[in-house]
Amino acid sequence: MALVCIAVLGVWAWGYQVYDIAQREAGESYRQGDAVGMRDRLVEYESSRAAYPLRFARYLEKFKQRFIYAKGVAYAGLGDSAKAEIAFRDAATAHEARIAEWALYNGASYLVFRNELDAARDAYRKSLILDPFDVQAKINLELLLKKIQERNAAADALKKKNGQGQAPAPGDYWKREIPSQDNPGGGSSNRIYH
């Protein structure tokens, strides 16, 4: 928060300095009797004064995206994954490519954690579009693609086991056997119904 205050004050001081310089130069031209110079300085002063709110708003918008990303990092550090994911999703729309790439990368990591593999794959790919040289994103995407492939292979094997590739009828339960230490082959005693 202190960083936000310092940045806002810095931008305000810079804008005030632009006004102040133009105003002082106009006053100096007036004292020297230079009406044309004074008029030019006053026009410069008024144009800088009119443009300042727009420049300030643009800067704050850029800073806002960085702040949202930083908020996501803070939530992630505190272990609040839901708020972190929301912040990363919001920061992913940033106009600054670096912030958007970081937000997509971190958001994809949370999607993997929640087992939303297809959405995570898309987020990693978008991240790599913004920064094709991000080695960590490439590694994570490759690992994720292997995990998706394993998931699909397991689903295909389950379909074959349940009826030669036919999907179960509506209302049927998906059944999965979990082997125990006593019965490594699995069995009806440790069957889970989803």
- Rounded (10°) angle between helices 97-113 and 117-130: 160
Name the band, by pLDDT with cuts 50, 70 and 90, for residue 138: very high
Looking at residues 90-94, what average pLDDT do you find? 88
Q: Which two tokens stand for residue 163?
A: 């009826």
Domains within the chain, CATH numbers bracketed: 92-165 (1.25.40)
Please determine, for residue 29, whether its predicted confidence score (pLDDT) is greater than 70.
no
Q: What is the dihedral of CA 98, 6, 48, 56, to 10 degrees?
A: 50
Question: What does DSSP say about strands 175-177 and 191-193: parallel, antiparallel, or unpaired?
Answer: antiparallel
What global pTM score does this model have?
0.55
The tens digit of pLDDT for each residue in 107-124 reads 998 888 888 999 999 999
The alpha-carbon radius of gyration of the chain (Å, integer) is 29
pLDDT of residue 94: 82
Compute φ and ψ for 116, nearest 5 degrees.
-100, 75
Please determine, for residue 2, whether its predicted confidence score (pLDDT) is greater than 70.
no
pLDDT of residue 175: 40
Segment holding 6, helix H or strand E: helix 2-31
